[in-house]
Chain A
Amino acid sequence: MKKKSVLPVLILAGIVIFFYLPLVVLVVNSFNASRVSSVWGGFSLKWYERLFSDQNLLRSVKNTVLVTGISVLCSTVLGSLAGISIARFKSRLQKVHSVFIALPLIMPDILIGISLLLFFISFRIRLSLLTIIIGHITFCVSYVASTVQARFQNFDFSLIEAAQDLGAGKGQILWKIYLPLLAPGILSGAMLAMTLSLDDFIISFFTAGPGASTLPIQIYSMIRHGSPPVINALSTLFIAFTFIVLLFYQRISRRLNNEN
């Protein structure tokens, strides 16, 4: 008989305590009538009321939806195309391209943020929501491209050749062969892009113009000089939203995998 190790149990306990317990504390506190987290003042929805009556907060929710929506859409299209062309074709230039596309993965956010800011200023582009979106697309493309590339690990290129033999055009091949086969990779790339764009603070902070605060910027400024319970309420909704998206993602990706 093999002796059971306690290590896995310890690790599990550690994960539960350090990762999930804070989330639970946060959710519970968002319903706490007292504004101090160490005291339970009874159940209350007042922080949610406060949240939904705060115009500036709602504006930053709108900004976040816009930024994340557009940058996920654009970076998914661009990143998928980049991933396909890097994995499909092999030439010296391809290597350069793949370095280019991988660079933002390892580059610190603060470098990307500052260099984007300097770039915008030197070209006299006024900072606005658009500049945040451009910034987000820049780093999201890399993540989508690398997850799409990963799908090529055991890709059967003979399918492409067969299609070409049967007279399929480039567009047809892209739409009918690449897309369905790569769909799980594209989807998880888009998911990754969404989470990264949703909670990016540093790049957004540098590239945000007036009136273009996103949620992370807003939350950060509220921590020091605002009411923490409202942040709790907001974060609870954030968590709920993330879980719903995750649920959908699992459903869709399971179906896609079954189809293949």
Chain B
Amino acid sequence: MKIRTCSFMAALILSVFLLGGCSKEESRKLYLYNWSDYIDEELVKTFTEETGIQVITDYFDSNESMYAKLRSGGDGYDIVFPTSYMVEIMNQSGMLQQIDHSRLSNLNNIDRKFTALSVDNDMEYSVPYMVSTTGIGYLASELGELDSLSWDIFGTSDYALKMTMLNDVRETIGAALKYLGYSYNSRSEAELAEARDLLIAWKKNLAKFENDQYKNGLVSSEFVISQGYSGDILQVQEEREDLQFIVPEEGTAISIDNMVILKGAKNTDEAYAFIDYMLQAEVAAANIEYVYYLAPNTEAYKLLSEDILNDPAVFITDEVLENSEILLDLGDDNELYSRIWDEIKSAR
């Protein structure tokens, strides 16, 4: 009995050292902090084979938890993938390195129509990685195949209580603002008050404001029309052939996730090599086909299949782009939005 316990412990200790030993290979490394399922791992493997740089990835679930982790002292990452509003916050807190354009030979592939939307439009401290849109998911079996749709659909009572909008201050108020012809980033109290009254009217037709379960509700026919993120709708589209995604004709919110190099990065050379690799047309195209988000890379567009180019949930056409905006950080005016949002939520 005693001997067995000892040998068990010895085996455990030994295995610990063996396992520990594996991870101590001396090689060039690169530490990424990314969203989960947001990169084609095959591409990362190829990158490692080509350059000998080992890529180690950790994942975060929201911009906020990533920011909290990095701010509270979690260092050691080289490249992080924040959404544009978080890029601004991180830049203002002095967490980001300037991007040296001369070290990125493929930077010209970037679709400048998207960078034009962002605050960092010259890519001084961020390089766009993927873009996606907010739109409306609907069941074609109920509505038929639509060529265009207005945000006003939430104002009709035909599908009362079978519709959902997002439970998100900026997205939901933004949709109403956009329908009224204002900006997603409006700071005017009068415009916001108008949007509030409109949303309170729409609310009577809505089943609820819902962020996570609406996609499942669409699949099970509980809901017919839902405001949602293109990525979410795409995830469940394979379950239901008649589930369609459309960007409302008034325009919508575009969200851009970016690659940034942290100030404390220890592997800057490797970070540039990786970003430049991701900007290659073939790599970006393969990544789009895998992740089903659009990498803003004009050269990659030429390599995409017809299916992707015609899928409104993946490919963002110039028409959509023209009317759409990205959500900017509003600083102090965020409070205005939360107040309006409270009024909408508590209205009967």
Residues in chain A near residue B238, CB distance under 8 A: 35
The reply to whether B37 and A222 contact each other, CB–CB distance below 8 Å, is yes
Chain A residues in 8 Å Cβ range of B19: 62, 65-66
User: For chain B residues 56-111, which have a beta carbon within 8 Å of chain A?
Assistant: 56-62, 69, 72-77
* A211 x B56 contact (CB < 8 A): yes
Range of interface residues on B (Cβ < 8 Å)? 35 or more
Q: Which of B141-155 contact A (CB under 8 A)?
A: none
Are A209 and B74 in contact (CB-based, < 8 A)? yes
A127 touches B61 (CB 8 A): no
- Determine the main DSSP class of A at the interface with B: helix
B190 at interface (Cβ–Cβ under 8 A)?
A: no
B114 on the A face (CB < 8 A): no
What residues of A have a CB within 8 angstroms of the CB of B16 in the complex? 66, 69-70
CA distance A239 to B72 in the complex (A): 33
Q: Which residues of B contact A62 (CB under 8 A)?
A: 19
Whether, in the assembled complex, A21 has its beta carbon less than 8 Å from a beta carbon of chain B, the answer is no
- The answer, among B12, B62, B76, B236, for a CB contact under 8 Å with A210, is B76
**Contact B56–A38 (Cβ < 8 Å):** no
Asked if A225 and B61 sit within 8 Å, CB to CB, the answer is yes
Residues of chain B within 8 A of A59, CB atoms compared: 56
Given that A41-B239, A127-B76, A213-B58 are known contacts, is A225 also in contact with B38, CB under 8 Å in the complex? yes
Asked if A73 meets B61 with Cβ closer than 8 Å, knowing A34-B239, A35-B239, A39-B220, the reply is no
Q: Is A159 an interface residue (CB 8 A)?
A: no
A37 lies within 8 A of chain B by Cβ: yes
Q: Given contacts A62-B19, A66-B20, A211-B31, is CB(A221)–CB(B216) below 8 Å? A: no
Name B60's contact: one of A121, A221, A227 (CB within 8 Å): A221
Q: Is A233 an interface residue (CB 8 A)?
A: no
Is B277 part of the contact surface with A, judged by Cβ < 8 Å? no
Quick check: A224 and B72 within 8 Å, CB to CB? Answer: no
Q: Is there a chain B Cβ closer than 8 Å to A165's Cβ?
A: no
Instruction: Looking at the assembled complex, report how far the CB atom of A247 sits from the nearest CB atom of chain B, in whole angstroms.
Output: 17
User: In the assembly, what is the distance between CA of A212 and CA of B72, in Å?
Assistant: 17
In the complex with contacts A38-B216, A210-B77, A224-B239 CB distance below 8 A: no
A226 at the interface (CB under 8 A from B): yes
- A227 to B35, alpha carbons, bound, how many Å? 12
Instruction: List, in ascending order, chain B residues with CB within 8 A of A211's CB.
Output: 31, 56, 58, 76
Chain A contributes a number of interface residues (CB within 8 A of B) equal to 42
Residue in B20, B73, B235 whose beta carbon sits within 8 Å of that of A117 in the complex: B73
Known: A69-B16, A211-B56. A224 touches B73 (CB 8 A): no
Q: Judge if A25 is at the interface, Cβ distance under 8 Å.
A: no
In the complex, the answer to whether A224 meets B220 with C-beta atoms within 8 Å is no
Contact A221 B59 (CB under 8 A): yes
Q: Mark B215-256, 1 if CB is under 8 A from A, else 0.
A: 110011000000000000001101100000000000000000
Taking the complex as formed, is A54 at the interface, i.e. its CB lies under 8 A from any CB of chain B?
Answer: yes
The distance in angstroms between the C-alpha atoms of A226 and B61, with both chains bound, is: 9
Task: Tell me the complex Cα distance, A65–B16, Å.
Answer: 9
The answer on a CB contact under 8 Å between B72 and A220 is no
Interface: B41 (CB within 8 A) = yes
Nearest-Cβ distance from residue A223 to partner chain B, whole angstroms: 7
Q: Does A235 contact B (CB under 8 A)?
A: no
Residue of B nearest to A223 (CB): B61
Q: Which chain B residues border A222 with CB–CB below 8 Å?
A: 36-37, 59, 61
Interface membership of A191, Cβ < 8 A: no
Asked whether, in the complex, the Cβ of A206 is within 8 Å of the Cβ of B72, the reply is: yes
Q: 8 Å CB contacts to B: which residues of A107-121?
A: 114, 117-118, 120-121
Known A-B contacts A66-B20, A221-B59, A226-B37; A35 and B72 likewise in contact (beta carbons under 8 Å): no
Q: Is B47 an interface residue (CB 8 A)?
A: no
B215 touching A36, Cβ below 8 Å: yes
Q: Are A36 and B61 in contact, with the CB atoms below 8 A?
A: no
Chain A residues whose C-beta falls within 8 Å of the C-beta of B76 in the assembled complex: 126-127, 209-211
In the assembly, what is the distance between CA of A114 and CA of B236, in Å?
A: 38
The answer on a CB contact under 8 Å between A218 and B59 is: yes
Instruction: Find chain B residues with CB under 8 A from A220 CB.
Output: 61
Partner of A205, one of B12, B37, B38, B69: B69
Verify if B159 is at the interface (C-beta below 8 Å from A): no
Query: B35 contacts which of A54, A121, A225 (Cβ < 8 Å)?
Result: A225
Cα-based distance from A259 to B250 in the complex (angstroms): 78
Asked if A56 is at the interface (CB within 8 A of a chain B CB), the reply is yes
Please state if B13 and A127 are interface contacts (CB–CB under 8 Å).
no
Nearest A residue to B73, CB-CB: A121
* Contact of B56 (CB < 8 Å), options: A39, A210, A226: A210
B59 neighbours in A (Cβ, 8 Å): 56, 213, 217-218, 221-222
Q: Is A153 an interface residue (CB 8 A)?
A: no
Asked if B9 is at the interface of the complex by the 8 Å CB criterion, the answer is: yes
User: A118 — nearest CB in chain B belongs to which residue?
Assistant: B73
Bound complex: CA of A62 vs CA of B22, how far in Å? Answer: 11
In the complex where A36-B219, A210-B56, A210-B58 touch, is A114 in contact with B36 (Cβ < 8 A)?
no
Known pairs A206-B69, A217-B59; list 12 more (Cβ under 8 Å): A36-B220, A36-B239, A41-B239, A66-B19, A69-B16, A117-B73, A121-B73, A126-B75, A221-B61, A222-B59, A225-B37, A226-B37
8 pairs of residues in contact across A and B, judged by CB atoms under 8 Å: A35-B235, A36-B215, A66-B16, A208-B58, A210-B33, A211-B56, A211-B58, A222-B59
B interface vs A, CB < 8 Å? 9, 12-13, 15-16, 19-20, 31, 33, 35-38, 41, 56-62, 69, 72-77, 215-216, 219-220, 235-236, 238-239
